[in-house]
Structure 1
Amino acid sequence: MTDHADTDDLRILPTRDGQVGYRVGGEGPLLLLMASTGRCCAELWPLAKALQGHGFRVARVEPRGILPSRGPMQNVSFHDFAADFATVLSAELGEGERAIVAGHAYGTWVARTVAADHPDLVAGVVLLASGAKQWPQHLSAAITAINAPETSDAERLAALRLGFFAEGNDAGEWLTGWHPEVVASQRAARVLTPQSDWWGTGAAPILDLMGGADPFRPAGSEDELVREFGDRVTAEAIPNASHAMPAEKPREAAAAIARWWGGLQS
């Protein structure tokens, strides 16, 4: 559940065609967090707080369309979104430093684009509940239903339980916090960005951190990135978590990230 006592500093930077807002706190290696489709960074506060406890400085960046971030929302691609996040990295990193870039669900695609477009800024990439290369289309339909104004709360809750929350976890907090206009922009950007532009994720090491009950990772897809990219990828699944894994299990996710990063440094 979201801890609303968010104590991280709010910062705003100008971009080429707007501005990008983010919250940052903690001490240590910089780790940048991106939220899921149509969601804001506030829900990542429990994860950020846990990561700070493991010795990371964490920046949670709002996507375009969620204030204070703003910029063109039409005819844009993942590369435009990645440029916004790279603006934050350039401001927060010291000379010669690189950051860990972590994205949740949709945010994994943008994180991978940042790594591909700005490899000099990225030391590693964390994929939080990344979807498989292909997943059942009824899950995409569930996201559409969640964001439709005519959807009742009961129908929205059913869609959240179907696609995002494992059995026994509270999906109610995600009944709100959706930004349909951001979802529309992000979906259009996906269409305008060839998958080949970002799929390789630059040359950075990757943590593929899955929810053990995530329907967006159907059976047989759990090791697809390991099979494709070999030793660059560490794959791990968190039990009793679905596609909303960073919100369902923030402490467990933070511990897994810390273990992975510590292993890379040893």
Structure 2
Amino acid sequence: MKLRKLSYAFVLAATLSACAFAGTAGTADHQLVKYGNVQIDVMRQGQGPVIVMLPSLGRSVRDYDQVAERLVADGFRVLRPEPRGIGLSKGPMENLSVHDFAKDVAAVIEHENKGPVVVVGHAWGNFAARQLAADRPDLVRGVVVAAASAGKVPPGSNEKPIGPEMRKAIDGPSDMKLPEAQRIEYLRKAFFAPGHDPRVWLTGWHSETHEAESHARNTTPVDDYFAAGTAPILDLQAENDAVAPRRFSQVLKNMLGDRVTVVVIPNAGHALAPEQPQAMADAIAAFAHRVFANK
């Protein structure tokens, strides 16, 4: 189902106390954006063209504090909406599709009312970013898919985009019933490049959101979001990504053509942001400057 343009007024339900960040980014404030029976907790900081960042499966936008600081320093306004079930974001959690998560982001962008944005989707977030661009092209200037599974494999391949063993490693770290050593091993296998400490992601998992997003991924047809409408795409790849491996690295480019620009970040795994925040921010900023210049 396509998202309908939201005709009702979005309500600014609350403005929470500002929280300080180190470095050049200054401060970020929080807003609650409400529509219907949904409210989305949005971190906002900086001034300039708007970049919206969507997080990984079952994780918070706080994973991108360092990346956001750098983008703000480069002249952008960064919005980070928490998915339902994280922070003060809430709404129905059962039987959601990727369209529903994209609709939440659309509400945030419409409330901001600053024109089409660049939307960044990391890992699972790339599905919602592409779905938003497909359902609401009027809100999206460009799409960054970061450490992202394309959702398809090259023609002729019998593999799945993500096999069962890797799926176990992706889901394992959020299972707090597992021994810490097992969770660390799953983190090392799925998320982090060799030599990087996976313990930084031992915390920060949100099981209800993880389950809702997993259901949405499993039940929404890939073709609903695959092409991201007609928006320009930055395919920001991690050199050591075990979840979106190098053998699948040209799927988006080969299928969508010149709309897709591929940039590979060295010495990074699927987690990407905690491993190479400066390189991630630099690539996003370069792409955003380009697409905002081509109005």
The bucket for the TM-score relative to the shorter chain is over 0.9
TM-score for both structures, normalised by structure 2: 0.85
Aligned to 2:228: 201
Deviation (angstroms), 1:77: 0.7
Q: Provide the C-alpha distance between the structure 2 equivalents of 1:29 and 1:178, rounded to a whole number of angstroms.
A: 30
Find 1:252's aligned residue among 279, 284, 295. 279
Q: Provide the C-alpha distance between the structure 2 equivalents of 1:60 and 1:233, rounded to a whole number of angstroms.
A: 24
Matched, 1:48 2:68: yes
Q: Which amino acid aligns with 1:84?
A: D
Matched, 1:189 2:185: no
Q: Secondary structure at the match of 1:33?
A: strand
Deviation (angstroms), 1:260: 2.0
Deviations 1:148-174 (A, max 9, x none): 232111111111010001012121110
Change in Cα spacing, 1:172 to 1:40, as seen in structure 2 (3 Å) is: same
Check conservation: 1:93, 1:99, Cα contact below 8 A.
Answer: no
Check conservation: 1:17, 1:71, Cα contact below 8 A.
Answer: yes
Q: Provide the C-alpha distance between the structure 2 equivalents of 1:149 and 1:257, rounded to a whole number of angstroms.
A: 33
Matched, 1:167 2:194: yes
Aligned to 1:35: 55
Q: Which amino acid aligns with 2:112?
A: E
Q: Secondary structure at the match of 2:51?
A: strand
Unmatched runs of 5 consecutive residues or more in structure 1: none
Aligned to 2:81: 61
Unmatched runs of 5 consecutive residues or more in structure 2: 1-19, 153-160
Find 2:176's aligned residue among 140, 146, 149. 149
* Higher deviation after alignment, 36-45 or 138-147: 138-147
Q: Provide the C-alpha distance between the structure 1 equivalents of 2:290 and 2:216, rounded to a whole number of angstroms.
A: 35
Deviation (angstroms), 1:4: 6.5
Q: Provide the C-alpha distance between the structure 2 equivalents of 1:89 and 1:151, rounded to a whole number of angstroms.
A: 38
Q: Provide the C-alpha distance between the structure 2 equivalents of 1:14 and 1:171, rounded to a whole number of angstroms.
A: 35
Kindly tell me the number of residue pairs found equivalent between the two proteins: 262
Deviation (angstroms), 1:7: 2.8
Deviation (angstroms), 1:50: 0.8
Q: Secondary structure at the match of 2:262?
A: strand
Q: Which amino acid aligns with 1:106?
A: W
Aligned to 1:106: 124
Matched, 1:128 2:155: no
Find 1:233's aligned residue among 235, 248, 260. 260
Q: Provide the C-alpha distance between the structure 2 equivalents of 1:74 and 1:185, rounded to a whole number of angstroms.
A: 7
Q: Secondary structure at the match of 1:247?
A: coil
Check conservation: 1:89, 1:121, Cα contact below 8 A.
Answer: yes
Deviation (angstroms), 1:82: 0.8
Higher relative contact order (CA 8 A, sep 6+): 1
User: Larger Rg: 1 or 2?
Assistant: 2
Q: Secondary structure at the match of 1:51?
A: helix
- Give the ranges of 4+ consecutive aligned residues of structure 1 lying more than 3 Å apart after TM superposition: 3-6
What's the C-alpha RMSD, in Å, of the aligned pairs? Answer: 1.6
Q: Which amino acid aligns with 1:58?
A: V
Matched, 1:20 2:3: no
Check conservation: 1:135, 1:218, Cα contact below 8 A.
Answer: no
TM-score for both structures, normalised by structure 1: 0.94
Q: Provide the C-alpha distance between the structure 2 equivalents of 1:46 and 1:92, rounded to a whole number of angstroms.
A: 22
Identity %: 40
Check conservation: 2:239, 2:246, Cα contact below 8 A.
Answer: no
Check conservation: 2:121, 2:127, Cα contact below 8 A.
Answer: yes
